[in-house]
Each structure stands twice: as C-alpha cells, then as structure tokens.
Chain A
Amino acid sequence: MKLKEIDRTAMQAWSPAQNHPVYLATGTSAQQLDATFSTNASLEIFELDLSDPSLDMKSCATFSSSHRYHKLIWGPHKMDSKGDVSGVLIAGGENGNIILYDPSKIIAGDKEVVIAQKDKHTGPVRALDVNIFQNNLVASGANESEIYIWDLNNFATPMTPGAKTQPPEDISCIAWNRQVQHILASASPSGRATVWDLRKNEPIIKVSDHSNRMHCSGLAWHPDVATQMVLASEDDRLPVIQMWDLRFASSPLRVLENHARGILAIAWSMADPELLLSCGKDAKILCSNPNTGEVLYELPTNTQWCFDIQWCPRNPAVLSAASFDGRISVYSIMGGSTDGLRQKQVDKLSSSFGNLDPFGTGQPLPPLQIPQQTAQHSIVLPLKKPPKWIRRPVGASFSFGGKLVTFENVKVQPQQGAEQQQQHHVFISQVVTEKEFLSRSDQLQQVVQSQGFTNYCQKKVDASQTEFEKNVWSFLKVNFEEDSRGKYLELLGYKKEDLGKKIALALNKVDGSDVALKDSDQVAQSDGEESPAAEEQLLGERIKEEKQEFDLLPSAGGTFNISVSGDIDGLITRALLTGDFESAVDLCLHDNRMADAIILAIAGGQELLARTQKKYFAKSQSKITRLITAVVMKNWKEIVESCDLKNWREALAAVLTYAKPDEFSALCDLLGARLESEGDSLLQTQACLCYICAGNVEKLVACWTKAQDSSNPLSLQDLIEKVVILRKAVQRTQAMDTNTVGALLAEKMSQYANLLAAQGSIAAALAFLPDNTNQPNIVQLRDRLCRAQGKPILGQESSRIPYERQQPSKGRPGPIAGHPQMSRVQTQQYYPHVRIAPTVTTWSNKTPTALPSHVPAASPSDTQGENPPPPGFIMHGNVNPNTAALPPPSPGHMHSQIPPYPQPQRPQNGWNDPPALNRVPKKNKMPENFLPPVPITSPIMNPLGDPQSQMLQQQPSAPVPLSNQASFPQPHLAGGQPFHGTQQPLGQTGIPPSFSKPNIEGAPGAPIGNTIQHVQSLPTEKITKKPIPDEHLILKTTFEDLIQRCLSSATDPQTKRKLDDASKRLEFLYDKLREQTLSPTIISGLHNIARSIETRNYSEGLTIHTHIVSTSNFSETSAFMPVLKVVLTQANKLGV
C-alpha cells in the first residue's frame, strides 16, 4: 500500500541503512521534464516519518542545483554507527560530471554543500554504485565504455577496471558484487554485461544471450550467491529478467517473463534475496522471487510508467518508485488499507477550493462525499510469501516454575542438490538463579520435617549478624524450651537466682554493713560478667542501673517508670517482677514500708500476710505504688498501657510473670502495638519480640515487613524462617489455631511460594503455601502448583479448577470470584488441618499445668460413624512423620480424596471465630462427578465404606501421643455445648476457663455423638441449637439487620468481606445468648447498643460499646465485641 507521495520528477536515493531517521534524497531528473517544462533543478531531502499517517513526506531541505541528474546514490562513507546524518550523496550529471554532496550540510541549509566534483566522463553518467565492503570506492559508468573507480578519500584521479570494452558503448548499469569485494559488473543497452576483476584489472567474463534484443536497463548481483546476477531488458520485444550464474555463463539460469513490455528498472532486496522489484513500460511494479520466477506481489499503481525504483535500506518493507507523471511514491509491500490516500485526495481538493466558497458566492460548497464504492478497493494484500525479515528465527519465553522455553533455527547452508534436513527442536530448561535462597529454604524444610527447632534457632543465634537478629532468634528458641516464660524473663535480664543474691545483699546493706555493700557491688559486678548482664546486653541496650523514680502522683494517662535500680526500690521491683513475694515483703519491712509489705503480703497468701501483719505497726512511704497496685489488683493491662515505653522490658517481664494465660497473649500484643505505634524506630523493631511472646504471627509479619525490606528473595527468606518457626512454636505451646492465615501472612507466604516456584522448586512451594485459606490468590497458586508438578489430576478437571469454569457471557465481564476446591496432593504440610491441643503448657515456672491430653475421638467406634473422615484426618498422616507409614489414600476412593464435607470457606481467624459449624457454606461446590454421601441415618459403621478409608478414620487415635500433640477432627460442634466436660477439670486445676477458649471450636473432648448428630443435620443446623431467649432476640435481629443494611450500601469488596466476616463472628454472641452466659451488665449494654442502632445513633452505640469493653471481663466479650465495633463503625461511616 502507498505510504507517502512527493510530487517530483526526480531520481531518488534512500539514506544508508545506518542512518536514522530515514531520508529520501531526490534530484531533478535529467531525462524527463515535468509538467511545467521547467529546467530548474534541485536536490531535496525528505524525511520518512511513519508515525505521521498523512501521505506527505516531510521536506527537510532543498538545494537549488545547477545540475540535473541521471543517477543519484547515497553512500555511507565515513558514516559512524551512531547514524549521525552523514555519508555522501553521489550524483551523476548530464555532462560527464560526478558531484559529491554532503547531505548533512544540505539539511543544515548550508550554501556550500558540494564536497567535490569531477567532469571526467564523457556524456551523461547513468551508472553509479558504492562498494559495500569498502564504501569509499565508487564505480561510475558513462558513454564510450567509460568506467571509473573513484576513491572518495582521494577523489582526484579515478582508476579503471581494465581496458575499455570494444566497440565503445554506453554503460547503463554498474554494480559491485555483494559477496566478493573486488568484482564489478557493468552492462550496456547493447545487451552485454561484463564482469571485471579489479585485482586482475581486466574483464573476466562477458555475459550475453546473443539475441541482440537484451537492452540492459538493470543489473543486480544476488545478495547471497556470489556468482549470480540478474539483467533486465528494456526492449518491448524481450521484456524479461534473466538470471545468470557465472559458472554456467552460456545461457541464463532462469528467465522471468512477467512484464508485458520493456523493463525500466530493477532492485534486489538486501534484506530478503527472494524479493526482486521490477517496473516496466507496462506500468506495472512487480515483486518476484528471482530464484523461482514466481510473482509475489504486484503493487497497485496508476497507469504511469516508473523509471526508477529503490528499496529502503533501513526499512525493508518500504520501497520508492519514481514515475513519469512527476511523482515519487513510497510503498509498503506488507499490504494494508489505502484509506489514508483517499483522505489526502479529499484534503487536497478541499484546500484547492479554499474555504469551501471558492467563487465568493456566499454559498459554501456542500461537504465532499467520498464514494462508498472505493472502500471495496482500498484493501491491498501483502506479499504472497512472508518476507524473511518478519520470520522470527529465535525465541525464549519464560513459563511457570522458572522454566524457559527456547527454540532456534540454525541456518544450515543448503548443500548442492540435497537439502539438509533441519531439526526443529524446542528446549525446555530450568532456570535457577537464587541458589542461596533455595538452600536456606531446603534447610528450613528439613528442620520442619525433623522437628529440630531448638538446634535450628541456636544456629541462627550463633550466625546472627546483628543484635536484633540474635534477640529474635533467642526469643523464638525459648518457645521450644521448658519454662518458656522463665527463659523469656532471663532474656529480658531477670534471673531469679541472681536476684535472690542481690536481695540478700540489699537486706544486709540496710542493716548497716558497709562490707556488705561492697560485697553487693562485687556480686553485682560478677553478676554482670555472668549471664544476666550478658543477656541485658544481648537486648541491645544495657539496662541502666540508674535510679528511676516512680511517678508518685498517678496522673491520669501519664506513664511511670518501673525502677530496676540496685537500691531497695529496684530490688523490690525485681522481686515483684519475678513473683518473689516473700522477699519483697521482707524488703518493704526493712525499708519501713509497712503498707506495701501488708498489701504485698495479702497477695502473697494467708501465711505471708500473717507474718507481715506482725510488723505492720511501722509505716513507710512507697514509691512504687502503682506497680504494687497492679500486682495486687492483677491489673496488668494498666501497666502495659501506661508504662513508659523505655520500660517495655519491665512491662513485658511483669506480664510474663503474672499474666494469666488467657490474657497473656493479648497483653503482649498490646505492648507490641504500643511499641510499634508510639515508639521510635528502635522500639518499633522490639515490638517483634513482644509479638513473638504473644505468638502473634500476623503482627510479627506486619511489624517485620514495616521494618525490613522483603522484596529480595533472601530477606523474604529471613522473614519466612521466623514465621515458620514461630508458627511451629505457637502450635506447640499455645494451642492456638495455627491454621489461621491472615491476609498479610498469606500474601508473604504466597510471595515466598511464588519465588520457590520461579526457581523450579514446585514441591517446596506447595509445602510452604498456606493450606486452608480461601484467599483466591493462594487457592489459585496451589492449583497451579499442583498441576505444574505434572501429576495427573484426579477427578474431572473442571470440578477442581479453582476458578469457576467460565463460559463468559455477555454482562459478566467482570472479575469472577473463585470457589476454591483445593486439590489435595500428598505433600508435607506446614499448615495441618488438625487442631492442636496443648498437652503440657508451662506458662510460668510457678504454675506448671498439664492439660489433660485429649485423645480425640476416644473410641474408634465413635469415630467410625458414617461420617467420612474430615480432611484433618488425612492430612494428619502427612503432618506427623511417625505416621508416614500410613497407607496413602487410594486415589479411587473419593471419600478419602475429597472431603465430602464442605470445607470452611472463610479463613479461620482464630480464637474469636464463631464455631465452624456456622460457617458451613451452602454454596460449596462439589466435584461434578461426586455423588453426595448417602444420607446418614444412624451413627454406626457404614457397611459400604471401604476398609481403607475406615482404617484411616481409626488412625488418628494411635499416632497422637507420638507427636506429643493431640489432634482431633475438624470441629462440627454446635456452639451450644462445647465440652463442658473438659472445662470443669480445667477450672479445678487452676487454669481459668477462658484459657481453653481456643479449643471451643475444635473441642478435644467434644462428645462424639454430638458431632455425628451435627454432621447428620448439617442442612438444618439451627434446629440443634437452643433458641435465643425471646427477650434477646431483638439483639440478633437488630445486628443482622444493620449488617444487611451496611452490605447493601457498601461498595468496595473489602468492606463487604469485613461485614460478611462480622456477620459470621456475631454467631458467637448469639451462642452466648443461647447459653445465657453473659453477665447482666453486658446484656443490658448490648440492648442499649441495639436501641441506639434503632435510632441510627451509631456514635452513641460506639460510646456504649467502649463502656462495655472497658468495664467487662476481656475474655467474656473479646469474641464478639470487636466485631460489633467494626459493624458500628462501618454503619456510622456508610450512614445507613
């Protein structure tokens, strides 16, 4: 299709391939007069700007010349690779002159643009060519058989290729060989072509078909084959192109007879030797394959002849043709539509007629209508054969799992005669770039498998480069040791034995012994050399032994110091912090602080109190009232919330010592949060330590991510190591629901899995990927990994894909929420489905408490109910290496492969989640080929059940003790009666009932009969619950109604998710209402909130909410109050 037009009757030369942008030089043709019969001549340069869709060529420069031209070429002489405008324009003139122009000067508009001029030839110089190997060599041809070789570096005297051919004739064409630099060919209208060898300085061969009709108008060497050339004939009687091979010079190798009349010009593409352009007096421009003779393309032209045709050296799809109608046209051979051309014609007409009122009639012309029919002809087809330059020979593409797919098409020189068979191979390679990352990931996996956490942490401590890193690992390590709270205290700088010594000394000192004082110092010093001081240093900053006064006036909201100095106060503090009441009382007594002594003694027990009371008569002041208050009142929240952050260690120590298990985590969290939000950058990082104590993985990740860049693989590895270890620790010690994966952690873990996958470690990636979350990106990644492993996927593919199989229909172009259907692959899981119940928990060395080890599903007959095993059972075998010998679930048994139970669809967010039962999704997608289980009618063994799956069901009771972890089925408890049986004994052993809260969902001792019953009644779950008392029903309806209102006006999915989640979590409240376990104050408060919701006064609701939270027992309300706050806040925000 035509791209550009210039209205000139001119010879043309493209800028060399190196040049950018592409220029086209035109020089007024000597042979043709244009329509104006003007004899003026000019040399012009145009720029080819393809980003401009118009047909106009941008004119860069015009130089008025005294010459008209027979030939114009643009050589790259002295042009650098940067493609600055340079090179040289070489023109052949009318009177034997050859003129060299500097195109850069023409473009710059200089007056002096001629580099040199020689008038050595006789007659017009019609033939010019630049040697492509030595571009300073130019050959020229004119009349009288004159051929000169010019050296542009020494232009004065030309050389000749040899003796002139006889008889003298015009030289119409000249061409350097494209393969051998010293070979030159010339041709004349007589039909003879001569090949010269410049080394021999003589013609080596003459080519002629002796027909006397070959009237040579064109000559071109084969771009690739040194011995081949084509000759074109201008004679209408023989309008042919002959292809010659000099090795068989007796007759043409091939004759192309595609033109009806004489050929005026030819051009052989340097970019593709199968493309030869020719234009003739039949007004055709053809592109043929000279190697076969086939016409590949006929350019749509007007009826005018073209006398010159040129390929653009830089843009191989572009050519230009100069025609006798005074026009140079630039074409693309790639086809396309000529709409642009029509537009130009229309524009031209418009501009000719000026303002559409050319005749001053006052009547504008009607708008021009483009005839519709032209649209039919506007499409120009491309070449029949794809040109070489669009045939991509090589490629490399990455694919999932760090694989690189490459192919190459190595050029094989075609052997004479026999075509060599080319191999068409595609290589799939594994690319591994992060070796250290992989090896560390391997280590981590091994540790998890071998359970050698303590050693691993120790190694990490030893290898730590920074104090902080060392601390983190030390804290993590403690999780796996006995007496973890005690060890934490040691890490914080509190060691009981040492404190004992110090207190003893202090007591002596008070008795007035100077010697003792010295001793004390010495002991303190020697202590300093021992572990406590070392530990203190380990914490990055030495605990200052300076005296810190407590704020005596308990100003509201102010912070106070917890003094740990070496004097009496400090010692009392230390004693208190380590729970050593007796010493503390003694100290108080010695310091005449009777009130303190008494108060402490009350907390210390009857016995101590009695002893202290004896000495109560003396009084003394106290500087640590608040600390004592806190100890006595057990109000550690106060300490944590209001202590000076510099004393975070002391606060943490206090919490470690005193906090009840149920509030311990929350208090650590709180302290961590304070450090994070209020502290400076140093303290912020220390928050990580609090989160480790709290076992709060999610917050650790958040805090860590804030402080550290985890974008590169190794720092992500740093984070993941800690996370995995902490999760293991939490799982071990705190009986938390380790299945929970928050958004941030999930994000990091999937990032990690992605990285592993990208390094080809698909199996490892799968192992690290959180298992039971339905965050779409994770579910999708899991599915991708599973399939990438190359294992055949069981069942019908469509049912297991994590995306809704979509036949997209109109109106549903938006994103599609996936219904996760996890493909389970036998692999080591870091996120076991099993719930872990604590067996031995040592909150502090004072209260070592053993929880009853809950052997799940006490008797096999119970578990063997007809309910197929929940997924946890299957996974359990994988979690516990000791049970690895379990027969793997047979692929044929759907029961063991796909849990027929609906999986919980929401991530389980931990201890304040509502019971799992309530979250049973109704929309769960079943595999298409899966038949729903036969309705269960009685809790007896299913006679149809296959033995293997039954065996699996029985297994869990056996392996439990081996792993030192109790495991039990996925919970199917109604919220109604969660294991009262287990709660009782717990209370008696001194553990507050709330401690076992995490177990409420997955109650270890849940009556199995119940479980089955609930399983049976899954579809009608609510019937099994006690009804909410009528008087409280209003709460449920109000809250649910509010959530619905919020949902309908919420727009962003995040809020919707929050609300959905809230709605589910509030089930916990409803369950409490059913059980009637809430205190009257809370109930009335809730009713107040409900009333304020009725009146749309959400801020009032929030105030009441705050009041309830601040006055009630944390553990009683923590499951639902935060959620309620979320709902209220949202409602307030949305204004529903």
Chain B
Amino acid sequence: MVSVINTVDTSHEDMIHDAQMDYYGTRLATCSSDRSVKIFDVRNGGQILIADLRGHEGPVWQVAWAHPMYGNILASCSYDRKVIIWKEENGTWEKTHEHSGHDSSVNSVCWAPHDYGLILACGSSDGAISLLTYTGEGQWEVKKINNAHTIGCNAVSWAPAVIPGSLIDQPSGQKPNYIKKFASGGCDNLIKLWREEEDGQWKEEQKLEAHSDWVRDVAWAPSIGLPTSTIASCSQDGRVFIWTCDDTSSNMWSPKLLHKFNDVVWHVSWSITANILAVSGGDNKVTLWKESVDGQWVCISDVNKGQGSVSASVSEGQQNEQ
C-alpha cells in the first residue's frame, strides 16, 4: 500500500529534478530548473519552508544530505558546473563551500558513508568524477578522476561502509580499514566501480556492461548483513538491471534484468532495508519492485501521484514457499 501522507507544494517555478529527505525523514530538500534549492520541514504532515537557497546559475539536478553527525549539511549540483555545499548554522542556511572544478554540468552528488568522514563524490558531463574531502577549517581537498565516463557521468553511488556479512562480528561498526568504493554510471553505457587504493588514489576496479544506452542512475543497495553486494542500474535503453556480487568468493558481478520499460528510466532508489526498489520512468510512472523467493523481481506497485496499492503476490508467494 502506498498512500500519500503529505503533499508538498514546493512553489518551484520550473521543473523539479530531485527531492530528498534527510536522515530522519523530517526535512525535505528539493531542487529545480528554477535554479533554487528549497528545504522544507515536513514533520507531522506539515510543510514549512525553512530555506530557499539561491546560488546556482543553472538548473539544479540533485541534492544530497550529509549524515547528521556532521551537522545539517546539504550538497547540490547544477548545470552551472558547480557543486555547492550548504550548511545550517544557528538556524540559517548558508553556502559553506563552492566547488567549481568541473567543465560541464555536474549531474550527481553523493555523500560517502559517514564512517569515512565528510566525502562527497560528484559526477559530471565533462566525464570526470571529483571527490571532495573535508579536511577541517573550511578546507576541502579535491581528487579528480578524469575520463571516468566519456561524454558524461550521470550518477554516483557509494558502497555501504559495512563490509557485508560482518555485521554480527563487528556490531559497533568500528572496523577501521574500510575499503572505500563507489559506483558510477555514464553516457558510455557503462557502470564503473571505483576503489580507493592504499595511496589514496582512486582506481577503476571494474566495468559492468549490459546497458545499450546511457546509464541514467546507479544505486548501491544498503547493506543488510548478507555477504552479497547489490547495485541497481537504469538506463536510457529502458532497462533496469540488478547486479550482484558474492563478496566471499570472487569479484564477479552478474546482472539480472529487472524489467525492460518502454521509455527511459531515470532513477532507481533502494528502500532502507534494501528489499524494495523504486524505479522512476520517463512516462512519469514510479513502480516498486521486490525480489520474490525464487529470485525473480516482481512489480508490487504502480505509483501515480504518490499513490498506489501493493500487490500481495510476493508476500503470499513467500508464505507458500515456506
């Protein structure tokens, strides 16, 4: 069951391109072709405009909330080739940093798992991916991966910090030697996996090829303690793939076609528990997908205007199986 519990009139003057809730699900950040970023308090079904952030000189494509342990921080990226990091200080939101290291539209921003510190990955149409690391005193260190995706990187998504399967062994999550990884998707139809080497340089670890057109979005699934990594990808070619890799045995990623849509698929998003995937298509439709017991991905809901019903087929199937 998908039921609208809050309809937020953003008063944006042009297309909305992204809407993201903060860590707690109490604040909503939106961005639009009207060049603005807005923050709303949406607690208890209300909508209070907290901030209307102006600073971009072009359409703003994406917003990303940093983990609250670093304060209230929001990153936004725009066609104006800039990434802006906004911060709330004493109740007012202000620009705290502007990154203009890209030569073309910055299409995607994603914060690293909080365990690594404050690190932002940015993917741009100039084909590069930059990584901004906060080093204190308002300073950000920039690392850049040039030619990550020819004619453009459309999406970046970090791997969860927990090494899958280690949840029980390391309940406190204090394992110091994380291997930092993220996935990116681009106009070269590829998904690439990057990992940080011991010398701090980023290296392409893997290329995942299955799409026949631009990869529009990639989403690394949150870890739920299983020894598998999962990535969802969607493309201009209408296909959505679920990539899985058994961490224990090898580094082999195998794709499974979730569905082929008739139109471009713009966005994929995992639920926090990583069992439902929301797929946003070019026909303005949002569908929810769930893996059934036999490993097939089943559409459990069509969401229109935020509303829809969830078919019970999957959960019933599970019961029958047991």
Q: Are A815 and B267 in contact (CB under 8 A)?
A: no
State A969–B71 Cα separation when bound (angstroms): 36
Q: Are B25 and A400 in contact (CB under 8 A)?
A: yes
Q: Are B30 and A407 in contact (CB under 8 A)?
A: yes
One of A390, A743, A788 near B24 (C-beta < 8 A): A788
Say which one of A349-357, A420-428, A636-644, A831-839 lies at the interface with B: A420-428
Interface presence of A155 (CB below 8 A): no
Interface string of A793-817 (1 = CB under 8 A from B): 0000000010111111110111111
Interface presence of B17 (CB below 8 A): yes
Q: Are A403 and B25 in contact (CB under 8 A)?
A: yes
Interface presence of A707 (CB below 8 A): no
Taking CB atoms, residues of chain A closer than 8 Å to B247 are none
Which chain A residue shows the least CB distance to B41? A790
Q: Are A407 and B16 in contact (CB under 8 A)?
A: yes
Interface presence of A1075 (CB below 8 A): no
Give chain A nearest CB distance to B67 CB in angstroms: 8
Taking CB atoms, residues of chain B closer than 8 Å to A52 are 150
Interface presence of B255 (CB below 8 A): no
Taking CB atoms, residues of chain A closer than 8 Å to B315 are 433-436
Known contacts A398-B276, A405-B28, A428-B6; A815 and B171 CB within 8 A of each other? no
Known contacts A334-B152, A398-B272, A714-B318; A776 and B172 CB within 8 A of each other? yes
Interface presence of A547 (CB below 8 A): no
Q: Are A390 and B107 in contact (CB under 8 A)?
A: yes
State A489–B210 Cα separation when bound (angstroms): 63
Interface string of B119-138 (1 = CB under 8 A from A): 00000011100000111110
Known contacts A714-B319, A775-B172, A808-B136; A386 and B105 CB within 8 A of each other? yes
Taking CB atoms, residues of chain A closer than 8 Å to B115 are 814-816
**Total residue contacts A-B, CB cutoff 8 A:** 332
Which chain A residue shows the least CB distance to B306? A427
State A805–B107 Cα separation when bound (angstroms): 30
Interface string of A329-348 (1 = CB under 8 A from B): 00010111101100000000
Q: Are A391 and B21 in contact (CB under 8 A)?
A: no
Which chain A residue shows the least CB distance to B169? A1054
Q: Are A53 and B30 in contact (CB under 8 A)?
A: no
One of B127, B167, B290 near A747 (C-beta < 8 A): B167
Taking CB atoms, residues of chain A closer than 8 Å to B59 are 386, 391
Q: Are B303 and A406 in contact (CB under 8 A)?
A: yes
One of B10, B286, B319 near A394 (C-beta < 8 A): B286
Q: Are B266 and A399 in contact (CB under 8 A)?
A: no
Q: Are A396 and B278 in contact (CB under 8 A)?
A: yes
One of B69, B175, B189, B305 near A427 (C-beta < 8 A): B305
Q: Are A393 and B26 in contact (CB under 8 A)?
A: no
Give chain A nearest CB distance to B155 CB in angstroms: 10
One of A424, A712, A815 near B12 (C-beta < 8 A): A424
Which chain A residue shows the least CB distance to B104? A335
Which chain B residue shows the least CB distance to A339? B146
Taking CB atoms, residues of chain A closer than 8 Å to B1 are 430-433, 435
Number of residues from B at the complex interface, CB < 8 A: 120
Taking CB atoms, residues of chain B closer than 8 Å to A189 are none
Q: Are B117 and A808 in contact (CB under 8 A)?
A: yes
8 Å CB interface, B13-61 against A: 13-26, 28, 30, 32-33, 42-44, 58-59, 61
Interface presence of B251 (CB below 8 A): no
Give chain B nearest CB distance to A972 CB in angstroms: 27
Give chain B nearest CB distance to A777 CB in angstroms: 6
Give chain A nearest CB distance to B107 CB in angstroms: 7
Q: Are B150 and A50 in contact (CB under 8 A)?
A: yes
State A326–B107 Cα separation when bound (angstroms): 36
Interface string of B268-311 (1 = CB under 8 A from A): 01111100101111101110101000000000110101110010
State A1053–B312 Cα separation when bound (angstroms): 44
Known contacts A394-B286, A801-B69; A424 and B280 CB within 8 A of each other? no
Give chain B nearest CB distance to A811 CB in angstroms: 8
Q: Are A317 and B303 in contact (CB under 8 A)?
A: no
Known contacts A20-B213, A334-B105; A790 and B26 CB within 8 A of each other? yes
Q: Are A51 and B266 in contact (CB under 8 A)?
A: no
Taking CB atoms, residues of chain B closer than 8 Å to A784 are 23-24
8 Å CB interface, A758-791 against B: 758, 775-777, 784, 787-788, 790
Which chain A residue shows the least CB distance to B300? A433
Known contacts A53-B150, A403-B21; A743 and B171 CB within 8 A of each other? yes
Taking CB atoms, residues of chain A closer than 8 Å to B22 are 399
Q: Are A391 and B125 in contact (CB under 8 A)?
A: no
Q: Are B212 and A804 in contact (CB under 8 A)?
A: no
Give chain B nearest CB distance to A304 CB in angstroms: 23
Taking CB atoms, residues of chain A closer than 8 Å to B134 are 808
Q: Are A431 and B271 in contact (CB under 8 A)?
A: yes
One of B5, B12, B15, B81 near A429 (C-beta < 8 A): B5
Interface centre among A397, A776, A788 (most CB of B within 10 A): A397
Chain B positions within 8 Å of A, measured between CB atoms, are 1-26, 28, 30, 32-33, 42-44, 58-59, 61, 67-71, 79, 81, 103-105, 107, 114-118, 125-127, 133-137, 146-147, 149-152, 154, 167-176, 187-190, 207, 212-214, 224-226, 237, 266-267, 269-273, 276, 278-282, 284-286, 288, 290, 300-301, 303, 305-307, 310, 312, 314-315, 318-319, 322
5 contacts between A and B (CB under 8 A): A337-B146, A392-B61, A397-B19, A436-B315, A815-B175
Contacts A336-B151, A1053-B176 known; 17 new A-B pairs at CB < 8 A: A335-B105, A336-B125, A336-B127, A382-B79, A390-B154, A394-B284, A395-B18, A395-B19, A404-B2, A409-B16, A428-B306, A432-B1, A436-B319, A714-B319, A755-B273, A776-B171, A813-B117
Chain A positions within 8 Å of B, measured between CB atoms, are 3, 20-21, 50-53, 83, 314-315, 317-318, 332, 334-337, 339-340, 379-382, 386, 390-410, 423-436, 711-712, 714-715, 743-744, 746-747, 751, 754-755, 757-758, 775-777, 784, 787-788, 790, 801, 803-810, 812-818, 1053-1054, 1057
